[in-house]
Amino acid sequence: MPLEDPPGTERDRPAPSQSLPAKRQVNDVQTMRALSHPVRIAILETLSVEGPMTATEVGERIGESPTTCSFHLRQLAKYGFVEEAGGGKGRARPWRMNTLSIAIRGHGDPEAELAADVLAGMFVERQRDRYRTWQDTKAAYRREWREAAGESEYVIYLTAAELKQLRDEVSELIYPRFAERFTDPSRRPQGAAPVEMVMFSYPLSPPPASPSASTAPTDNPRSAS
């Protein structure tokens, strides 16, 4: 138990919220830039897996001081990513995520698109690091986990609308089925572990241009001379 926690804190700590929104849309430049900090991303990732934690507890997980984590938690709260979970004082206050996932979108504005690319790239690099860690350490896991985990790749021909629909359907399949385990640890079956599933979907090449009306053949027989 961390030194800042008074006796009974673990027992008295409030349970995670049972009504977290499934997704937070982030599309404004200021918010994306505020989130584009490695410590803030590490804090969000830790809270998403561990549940409510104090600044000291988060710092112990990510290798930062309680003062640093306290500052960044307040900044994350300012932009609506975390909130106080209730109970405790000062750095002994637990914090929690207030959404299950974050969707980053630039929506066509060049400045916003650039900010979205930078932020998304930071998340992707951390995901790759965790995948490399799994590759390096999977021998230490039981056989059942080594066989259950894996990599998949599919190349399929889709329209843009079909790709969006497919991604939405995958999200709708996962979140309703397992979201309560995120918000309520008592719902997790014995032997459950946090599992990261990362899905990249993108066209391998631009689609062929559709013929325009101006180049389409027309019936225009020449008049007899």
Q: What is the DSSP string of 70-85?
A: HHHHHHHHHTTSEEE-
Q: Per the domain annotation, does 205 fall within a domain? A: no
Number of structural domains in the chain: 1
pLDDT tens for the chain, residues 1 to 225: 233 333 333 323 333 444 555 677 888 899 999 999 999 999 999 998 888 999 999 999 999 999 999 999 999 999 999 999 887 776 688 999 888 778 888 777 899 999 999 999 999 999 999 999 999 999 999 999 999 999 999 999 999 999 999 999 998 898 888 888 887 889 999 999 999 999 999 999 999 887 764 454 554 444 443
In a domain? residue 173: no
CATH of the domain at 77: 1.10.10.10
* Cβ pair 44, 81 in contact under 8 A: yes
Question: Does the global pTM surpass 0.85?
Answer: no
Give dist(CA 118, CA 104) in Å, integer.
Answer: 10
Per the domain annotation, does 213 fall within a domain? Answer: no
Contacts of 196 (CB under 8 A, 6+ apart): 127, 130
Q: Give the domain extent around 72.
A: 9-152
48 located within any domain: yes
60 belongs to a structural domain: yes
Q: Are strands 82-84 and 102-104 parallel, antiparallel or unpaired?
A: unpaired
User: Residue 70 falls within a domain, yes or no?
Assistant: yes
CB-count exposure of residue 79 (10 Å: 0-12, 13-18, 19+) = middle
